[in-house]
Amino acid sequence: MDHVFGTTSFRGELAAAVQGMPDAASTTQWLIDDRERFQLEVFEFEHPHPKLLQQNSSITDIGYNRLIFAVRTVAEVRQAANEFGCSVDLMTDSPDINRVHARLVDPDGILVELIEWPEKVSGSRSAQLIGLGLTTADLDTSVEDMCEGFGFQMCSDVFEHSGCWSEQGRLQKHQTLQMGDMYVVASQYRDSRPRPSDHQLADIGIMNFAIFLRDQADFAACMNATQRLGMRPNCAPLSVGNEASIVYNNDRQGFSVEMIFLAPKLWGLYGFKHPSLADRVLNWLAERKAHFLYGRGAPGTSNGNINPFSYKVATSIDIQACTEQVWRELENFRDYDAWNPMLRNVSIELTPGSPVRFEVRQAGKRALKLSARITQLDFQKKLAWKGGIPLLATGEHYFMLEKLDESSCRFSHGEQFRGLLLPLLGRALKRATPLYRAMNQALKRRVEKLATGSVAANTATETRAQE
């Protein structure tokens, strides 16, 4: 997909009403492909603070469970994914499966299903988003809502769902739904884990999907159909004459579905095609107004000030291993080349003030060579180093460990950038955030694998000693 545009203007009273979250504030990026009115919208919420996916999240958990991509070859996608620290695993060779299926987990833990189906991939692209999965407690109600409310049609199991995702026989029933060239695969599993009681759209995961209506009459008809079924929107639809309408609707089980209509002249401004210069100017003005009224964060938050010369990357992940085990791998810099998708060739001596030399991997580009000095060191708790050019652009990169219990901890990882050149580097810094998350995921996989092996070895030793 092509990244075409983005905005930080979705914040304040209107955003809060539409998304159903007080003081909502986010940075939004838009991706498109060759299809008209298609868009993948990616949110990074500043407020409310997003919660991570549940521990040991599974496709059987209630909620939107995966993105589904058609690919020309799994091997091609695997090579690209590995550069970002994501693993791609082939799925079972069940006799019920005719196509090659694979699963990918992104750095945030979001599940992606890959299906070798080149006929579904347009142009010269290597992959195309064609659907998403939904796990529901009441499949019949979900099917009725999607078909009678939003206009989907039932179709055959084109994704071979029953063969790929039976989950040891827990799959009770499922139905594939189609609207044009997009699909929703709805499933009902035995003993599904419900969504957390404090779940909100800002949490990490698939927040909803959107239906793009052709005109205001179609929008009104769809709204009436959903209300007859008993669905409830977060607020009354926001409409601007015959130019635009938007609402976040909620089906009868609480799953969010966005309904939107935009006149073609607004497509560039809201990321449905490449923006014109006028679109960029209008977005810049909207961002300035939103930041003036509501700040970089939301009203009432500590991040409410606007500072164009400061930018912070903040990520975290929970790891099923004690802080000692995680720290051991963090300080083992010699092995970074073998597993770390972000940092390599790290030369460091763990003493305050010591120099650090390292390279930052960049997908498809030559690694960036940098140097810094250690500014903070608290063994098994925090390590930070700072580099750059004073006044112009500096970055303090940090790693922090927080004990959760005897066998788990939280790894926080980020960087504080400051300097006069930051207004020119803003977009590049935002695109760098996935690298931090990719390292988090790679560290989690490595440490948990080593921790599991250590437990197994200790158990075997104890068993032999008892014998």
Separation between Cα atoms, residue 178 and residue 300, nearest integer Å = 43
Predicted local distance difference test score (pLDDT) of residue 93: 60
Predicted local distance difference test score (pLDDT) of residue 89: 87
User: Same topology for domains 52-195 and 310-464, yes or no?
Assistant: no
Which superfamily is assigned to 310-464 in CATH? START domain (3.30.530.20)
Q: Give, in words, the CATH class of 52-195.
A: alpha beta
Query: Tokens representing 357?
Result: 């030399």
Separation between Cα atoms, residue 234 and residue 252, nearest integer Å = 13
- Is residue 42 classed exposed, middle or buried when 0-12, 13-18 and 19+ CB atoms within 10 A define those classes? middle
Separation between Cα atoms, residue 449 and residue 460, nearest integer Å = 17
3-state secondary structure labels for all residues of 264-293:
HHHCCCCCCCCCCHHHHHHHHHHHHHHHHH
- Average pLDDT along the chain, 467 residues, taken 10 residues at a time: 90 92 92 94 90 87 96 88 78 77 88 94 91 97 97 94 91 96 96 93 95 95 97 95 94 97 96 94 89 57 54 90 94 93 92 94 83 94 94 94 92 92 79 88 91 53 42
- Residue 50 near residue 291 (C-beta atoms within 8 A): no
Separation between Cα atoms, residue 292 and residue 300, nearest integer Å = 14
Q: State the sign of the Cα–Cα–Cα–Cα dihedral 166, 170, 176, 177.
A: negative
Where residue 162 falls (left for φ over 0; alpha for ψ -120 to 50; beta otherwise) is: alpha
Predicted local distance difference test score (pLDDT) of residue 454: 55
Closest CA to 254 of 335, 137, 144, 338: 137
Separation between Cα atoms, residue 220 and residue 239, nearest integer Å = 11
**What CATH code is assigned to 1-49+210-303?**
3.10.180
Predicted local distance difference test score (pLDDT) of residue 272: 96
Would you kindly state where each structural domain of the chain is located, as residue ranges? 1-49+210-303, 52-195, 310-464
Predicted local distance difference test score (pLDDT) of residue 81: 81
Separation between Cα atoms, residue 204 and residue 343, nearest integer Å = 25
User: How many C-beta neighbours within 10 Å does residue 286 have?
Assistant: 15
Predicted local distance difference test score (pLDDT) of residue 311: 86
Q: At 453, which helix (H) or strand (E)? A: helix 422-466
